[in-house]
Chains A and B, each alone.
Chain A
Amino acid sequence: MTKRFWRAGILACLISCVGVAHAQVSSLNVTEMSEAQIRQLSYNDLLQLSLEDLMTVANRFGMSADEILEYFLNKDVVAASKKAEKSMESPLSTTVISKEQIEQSG
Chain B
Amino acid sequence: MRGKFLAMKRLLFLIVVFCLMGTSSLFAQKERFKALFIFNFTKNIEWPAASRGNQFVIVVIGNSELIAELETIAQTQRVGNMPIKVVDYTSLDNLNGCHLVYLSPSKSGMLSSLLTNVNGKHTLVVSDGKNLAAKGSGISFVQDGDKLKFEVSRKNIEKQGLKSSSALANLGIVVD
- Where the two chains meet, the residues of A that have a C-beta atom closer than 8 Å to any C-beta of B are 1-2, 4-6, 8-9, 12, 16, 43-44, 46-47, 49-52, 54-55, 58-59, 62-66, 68-69, 72, 98
Partner of B10, one of A6, A54, A65: A6
Binds A, one of B31-39, B46-54, B94-102, B109-117: B31-39
Interface of B is mostly: helix
Interface of A is mostly: helix
Q: Are B40 and A54 in contact (CB under 8 A)?
A: yes
Interface residues on B, range: 20 to 34
- How far is A62 from B144 in the complex, measured between Cα atoms in Å? 11
> Assuming A47-B36, A63-B148, A69-B29, is B4 touching A1 (CB within 8 A)?
yes
Q: Tell whether B77 is near chain A: CB-to-CB under 8 Å.
A: yes
- Where the two chains meet, the residues of B that have a C-beta atom closer than 8 Å to any C-beta of A are 3-4, 6-7, 10-11, 14, 18, 22, 25-26, 28-30, 32-33, 36-37, 39-41, 43-44, 72-73, 76-77, 146-148, 167-168, 170-171
| Extra contacts besides A51-B41, A59-B147, A63-B33 (16): CB < 8 Å | A2-B6, A5-B7, A43-B72, A51-B37, A51-B40, A51-B44, A51-B167, A52-B167, A52-B171, A58-B33, A59-B148, A62-B146, A63-B29, A63-B146, A63-B147, A64-B146
- How far is A8 from B33 in the complex, measured between Cα atoms in Å? 34
19 A-B pairs (CB sep. < 8 Å): A1-B3, A4-B7, A8-B11, A16-B18, A44-B76, A47-B36, A47-B76, A47-B77, A50-B40, A50-B43, A51-B40, A51-B43, A54-B37, A58-B33, A58-B147, A59-B147, A63-B147, A66-B22, A68-B29
